Amino acid sequence: MSVERIGIGMLGYGFMGRAHAGAYRTLRHLPAPSPLVPSLVSVCGRTRSAVAAAAEEFGFAGSTTDWREVVADARVAVFDNTGPNSLHHAPTIAAARQGKHLICEKPLGLNADESFEMWAAASNAGVQHMCAFNYRFVPAVRLAREMLEAGELGEIYHFRGRYLQDWVLDPDLRRGWRLNRSMAGSGALGDLGAHVIDLARYLVGEPATVAATMAAFVTGRPDAGDLDEAVDDAVEAAVEFESGAIGTIEASRVCAGRKNALTFEISGSKGSIAFDLERLNELQVNLSGSTNPNLEGFRTVLVTQPQHPYLSNWWPPGHVLGWEHTFTHELAHFLNAIARDESVAPHGATFADGYRAAEVCDAIGRSARFGRREAVSYRALTSESVRTGI
């Protein structure tokens, strides 16, 4: 098999930057590797010494403090945006205009409008685009999707999703960009809620309405600056889906003891499934419709068998995978899509998915603010909007 190198330029070298870089290095050595081998060309960040150290540590050939250099770099074919949310829109659109393939961390833009423009720009440029909703690439989540597609749960009545963390409880926490509204757009909603929304859409379909409330509990950070900039700590929403299913979307960063608890439970006429990211190798499955009724129960499927999604590249049964390989699977999927000139959909999230998640986030925000159930409406990408990007 001939392999070809593809140059990667990255914006951001924090938590997500480290995760993406590790995945690029790892996917080169899978038993069934991508036909495109990532070459880590350049990484960009604000602080010269820190980004240079990151380049060394992550394995990039070079670094820069100006993202325009990455966008203009002819060696770069993929622009991977892992920067703060406020740096998603402009650099990604600029990269699109340079014909770079695009991967951007979630939430796609600071709001639905920014996200729509990013989608339009990517479409206009005719490049590949993926919004890095990495939890679609948890093997147990993909297995859930396959069960749902096969109708194993019957008609779906409920989706209940939560993403709970507790790091904002720390009163001495320094206020990074994730706690700053102008840089993050929102708090728990866009950071955590967006993941729940994307999984809801991936697994159950489009939300139709949301009825929500939000709260900011923890104030007075050491470096809090302008109080108006405080973001939401938690969001609670009742949701109706276009299919008729109902449920909840919840997110909190002040939930003591929950470290990374992205959980969902989906129930239908024939069964239910449940998932918890803190035990990401497991899927809880109840098939009430096709089981000896004496022996019905939620079973813990250890999603590590060779025939499970994404597992053929890994270890014998029971040798569990870590969180980081959501990115290995995701970026391998992205490079395969480029190599085959196919969309990353449906198993990867496109910028269209990123935009739609943003519409749901915005509707939740409006519902919380105005105290009414909000319908979610999605704009279509017309030829006009592709052209103008708005």
Considering only residues 211-240, where is the footprint of its own copies by CB under 8 A?
A: 211-215, 217, 233-234, 236-240
Q: Is 48 in the site for its own copies (CB under 8 A)?
A: no
Residue 301 sits at φ, ψ, to 5 deg, of: -85, 120
Q: Is 191 in the site for its own copies (CB under 8 A)?
A: no
Which segment (99-107, 181-189, 191-199, 277-285) binds its own copies by CB under 8 A? 277-285
Residue 354: what residue type? G
256/176 Cα distance (integer angstroms): 20
- CA-closest candidate to residue 103, choices 194, 12, 193: 12
Considering only residues 49-78, where is the footprint of its own copies by CB under 8 A?
A: 57-59
C-alpha angle 8/34/26, rounded to 5°?
Answer: 65
Can you name the residues that pair with 195 across neighbouring β-strands? none
Q: How far is the CB of 188 from its own copies (least distance, A)?
A: 11
Contact string 1-40 vs its own copies (x = CB under 8 A): --------------x---x-xx--xx--x-x-x-------
Contacts of 215 (CB under 8 A, 6+ apart): 232, 233, 234, 235
Can you name the residues that pair with 81 across neighbouring β-strands? 11, 104
274/281 Cα distance (integer angstroms): 12
The SS3 assignment for 275 reads: strand
Q: How far is the CB of 288 from its own copies (least distance, A)?
A: 5
Judge contact between 390 and 112, C-beta under 8 A.
no
Q: How far is the CB of 244 from its own copies (least distance, A)?
A: 7
Considering only residues 116-155, where is the footprint of its own copies by CB under 8 A?
A: 143, 147, 153, 155
Minimum CB distance to its own copies smaller for 176 or for 346: 176
Q: Is 293 in the site for its own copies (CB under 8 A)?
A: yes
Q: Is 174 in the site for its own copies (CB under 8 A)?
A: no
Count of residues that interact with its own copies, criterion CB under 8 A: 97
Q: Is 289 in the site for its own copies (CB under 8 A)?
A: yes
The one among 110, 254, 332, 352 contacting its own copies by CB under 8 A: 254
21-49 exposure pattern, b = at least 16 Cβ within 10 A, e = fewer: bbbbebbeeeeebbebebbbbbbbbeeee
Which segment (87-95, 97-105, 368-376, 381-389) binds its own copies by CB under 8 A? 368-376
Which segment (70-78, 209-217, 348-356, 380-388) binds its own copies by CB under 8 A? 209-217
Minimum CB distance to its own copies smaller for 28 or for 387: 28
Considering only residues 305-334, where is the footprint of its own copies by CB under 8 A?
A: 305, 307-308, 315-325
- CA-closest candidate to residue 73, choices 104, 40, 45: 40
